[in-house]
């Protein structure tokens, strides 16, 4: 029989052994949430939990999770089901750059829409909320991959700086809107923490991890009757996907 803990909200944070993920765990735990800290690397994940416990946060546990490994996902789902019987909060923080990026390139990063998608066809498709489908998002990603392989990124007006990273973020944001429509009883939102200073960008960010974590934590703890869904937040302020 599942061990259910009804008096505490239960949160899962992916990619949480360091950076923004670890800080999200810290802030959620400080608000009385039982946090399941996950990471691909078990040793690093256990060290992260240990650091939180030393800081006085006892209601934090670790479980290994690789979000691109089906067996790891199934094992983790069984753990949550058997240990708690439910899940109240999921913060999908895990991510990788997918390539080696030079430190100087991070300093060129800007957040304007034209920098992200000069490709008009793509912007139009992503902006059509009612017409968004999983199939369309998948087609977008496949088209980008094909153009990338054929050295047509610039010709087809895809982003030229951090191409794969940028396209994947746009696809993820689109998928957020699709899921929000598909599951109207669950609040599903996308949050940009800002250019946060982490190992991912060689610590070139201008926002601290504490500041970057505030948006996801704010949404996670917002009362049900106030929590929006299918929205995009820049830090703690509601913004637009466009």
Q: Tell me which residues are annotated as active site.
A: 165
Distance separating the N- and C-terminal Cα atoms of the chain: 46
Q: Are 59 and 35 in contact (CB under 8 A)?
A: yes
Ramachandran sector of residue 64 (left: φ over 0; alpha: ψ -120 to 50; beta: rest): beta
Strand 60-64 relative to strand 89-91: parallel, antiparallel, unpaired?
A: unpaired
Please give the Cα distance from 171 to 148 (Å, whole number).
16
């Amino acid at each position: 029989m599942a061990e259910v803990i009804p008096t505490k909200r239960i949160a899962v944070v992916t990619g949480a052994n360091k950076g923004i993920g670890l800080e999200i765990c810290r802030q959620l735990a400080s608000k009385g949430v039982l946090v399941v800290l996950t990471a691909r690397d078990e040793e690093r994940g256990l060290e992260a939990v240990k650091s939180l416990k030393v800081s006085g946060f006892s209601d934090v546990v670790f479980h290994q999770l690789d979000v691109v490994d089906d067996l790891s996902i199934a094992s983790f789902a069984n753990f949550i089901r058997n240990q708690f019987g439910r899940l109240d909060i999921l913060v999908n923080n895990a991510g990788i750059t997918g390539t080696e990026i030079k430190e100087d390139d991070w300093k060129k990063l800007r957040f304007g829409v034209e920098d992200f998608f000069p490709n008009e066809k793509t912007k139009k498709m992503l902006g059509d909320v009612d017409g968004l489908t999983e199939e369309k998002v998948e087609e977008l990603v496949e088209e980008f991959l094909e153009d990338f392989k054929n050295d047509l990124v610039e010709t087809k007006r895809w982003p030229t700086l951090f191409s794969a990273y940028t396209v994947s973020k746009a696809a993820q944001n689109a998928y957020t809107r699709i899921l929000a429509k598909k599951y109207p009883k669950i609040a599903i939102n996308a949050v940009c923490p800002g250019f946060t200073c982490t190992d991912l960008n060689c610590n070139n960010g201008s926002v601290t991890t504490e500041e970057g974590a505030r948006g996801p934590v704010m949404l996670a703890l917002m009362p049900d009757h106030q929590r929006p869904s299918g929205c995009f937040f820049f830090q703690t302020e509601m913004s637009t996907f466009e």
